[in-house]
Amino acid sequence: MAVIHRTTLSPTKLELLTTWLPTRPWYVGSAAPALVRSGGFRLDDPQGEVGIEFMVVTDTSGAEPVPYFVPLTYRGAALEGAEDALIGMSTHGVLGKRWVYDGCQDPVLVAQLLALLDGRAEPQAQSVSDTPDPTITHARSGAPFGPATPGATDTPEGTDLPVPGAVLHVNRVLRPATDAPEGAPGHVSGPWRTPEDAEVRGAFAEVRTA
């Protein structure tokens, strides 16, 4: 299980994301974001090498707050061939220099997200070590996924991850919904908090037929 260290990160995750988010095609703001943490969860890397976090951050800079779903990975060395996926570098108070990546372009995170959909991985609390997070729901019909095909694609609606016979769509701009996406053969859903500290839920990712 991943160990959550109570220490510093410089620059912070929110500082890195403040610069990176406006470069994404799915960013809907018109100015530099003002970000607050709103929720999320983690998954464990079976090899214990890569930190895997699924963050929800809310941009409060506009007339209406906008929640974003941001999968991240943290590595102790650069991921070869993933220069375009690098969000930035930071110094961890315990682990030292860390390379922070857009997790949708990191094969370790994608593999574990598919394992979660297949019921082979268990969601973990975002900020507590060795603690499952029962608020994250996941379901999928059909045979287990095979290996994901490289090539995440950002669109104005989110990020599409090609998988055998389907597409796993990652919802980057989150919208509250009480039910699983209608007609989707698989989904991952969970809660986040509004700036008014109300809890809402919605789909973080959904399987779509290719």
Domain that holds residue 93: 9-209
Contacts of 149 (CB under 8 A, 6+ apart): 162, 163, 164
* pLDDT reported for residue 94: 63
In angstroms, the first-to-last Cα distance of the chain is 34
pLDDT at 49: 92
The answer to whether position 96 is within a domain reads yes
Q: Is residue 3 part of a domain?
A: no
Instruction: Determine the length of the chain.
Output: 210
Q: Fill in the amino acid letter for 144.
A: P
Identify whether 1 is part of a domain.
no
65 in a domain, yes or no? yes
Is 60 a domain residue? Answer: yes
| Counted domains in the chain | 1
For the chain, 210 residues long, give each residue's pLDDT as a single digit of tens.
566 656 677 799 999 999 999 999 999 988 889 999 999 999 999 999 999 999 999 999 999 999 999 999 999 999 999 999 999 999 866 666 999 999 999 999 999 999 999 999 999 999 887 899 999 999 888 777 777 777 899 999 899 999 888 899 999 999 998 777 777 888 999 999 999 999 999 999 999 886
Answer whether residue 4 is part of any domain: no
What's the confidence (pLDDT) of residue 2?
63
The answer to whether position 100 is within a domain reads yes
